[in-house]
Amino acid sequence: MRTLLSLAMAPLLLAQVSRPVDTFKTKAGDLKITAIRHASTMIEAGGKVVHVDPWSQGNFEGLPKADIIVITDIHGDHMDPKAIEIVRKEGTQIFAPAAVAKTVTDATIINNGETKTAGAFTIEAIPMYNMKRGPEPGKFYHDKGRGNGYVIAYGGLRIYFAGDTEGIPEMRALKNIDVAFIPMNMPNAMPPEEAADAVKEFKPKVVYPFHYRTSDTKVFADALAGTGIDVRLRNWYY
């Protein structure tokens, strides 16, 4: 019986062990961040759970349901109704830009520059957009004002999720960021060298490259060597 039970639980235990997890100290207690896949991330603190950009290509087996969901943009690797249904529960609050709320109709709209509170969490919407990259001349993959990056604060810890963006002025102007998640997926975000250049401007204490697919994150880490910024490479595609 014990052997059969162990075999049945093995895939779940493996899924739980394989996800990269980091813990941070805050004034309100420990905060845990779990890398799920691509841009999909989970925060746990104070008995509450925040899912950022849940994507159904990620493995959510064994993970707690969301008290809060934040969505950055309309593209399918960020706004995924199937994944939202996987992680939501009764009473889940969803925060998203207006373009996302056209599909996720029960979302609370939060626009660039606005701040919302959800329990002990503060959610600030930061612009995310392309300045030079698009599918054809005169068009961008991400138009300014359509999507949000977010600064999520808890217990004095400020966590920046950049969304799918280039190294825009609003990113470079950020202050007092403790933890940052920066994309470097091409062609619709930016290469590692550009991402590192932007990070040098706002100097987070800790930075994770994510949403990188086949980009070489070591190039990003090497470009930030000697800056004092703690670059943490994690496997978002296990």
Residue-wise pLDDT for 78-87, tens only, equals 999 999 999 9
**For residue 40, which of 211, 204, 199, 166 has the smallest C-alpha distance?**
211
pLDDT at 16 over 90: no
Q: What are phi and psi of 209, to 5 degrees?
A: -75, 135
**For residue 96, which of 82, 81, 86, 211 has the smallest C-alpha distance?**
81
Strand 121-128 and strand 147-154: the pairing is antiparallel
**For residue 204, which of 236, 157, 168, 169 has the smallest C-alpha distance?**
157
Domain borders along the chain are: 20-226
- CA dist., res. 58 & res. 39, Å (int): 10
Average pLDDT of the chain to the nearest whole number: 93
AA identity, residue 90 = E
Provide the 3-class DSSP secondary structure of residue 167. Answer: coil
Residue-wise pLDDT for 185-194, tens only, equals 888 889 999 9
Contact assessment for residue 39 and residue 183, using Cβ atoms and an 8 Å cutoff: yes
pLDDT of residue 238: 81
Which CATH topology does 20-226 take? Metallo-beta-lactamase; Chain A (3.60.15)
Q: Which residues contact 174 (CB under 8 A, 6 or more apart)?
A: 126, 151, 160, 202, 204
pLDDT at 24 over 90: yes
- CA dist., res. 224 & res. 218, Å (int): 10
pLDDT of residue 6: 41
pLDDT at 14 over 60: no
- CA dist., res. 108 & res. 205, Å (int): 30
- CA dist., res. 133 & res. 149, Å (int): 18
- CA dist., res. 75 & res. 87, Å (int): 18
**pTM score of the predicted model:** 0.92
Question: Where are any strands of DSSP class E within 38-146?
Answer: 40-45, 48-52, 68-70, 93-96, 108-109, 115-118, 121-128
pLDDT of residue 18: 75
pLDDT at 203 over 60: yes
**For residue 199, which of 188, 207, 191 has the smallest C-alpha distance?**
207
Task: List, as one string, the DSSP characters of 120-143.
Answer: TEEEEEEEE--SS--SSTT--SS-
pLDDT band at 61 (very low <50, low <70, confident <90, very high): very high
- CA dist., res. 197 & res. 192, Å (int): 9
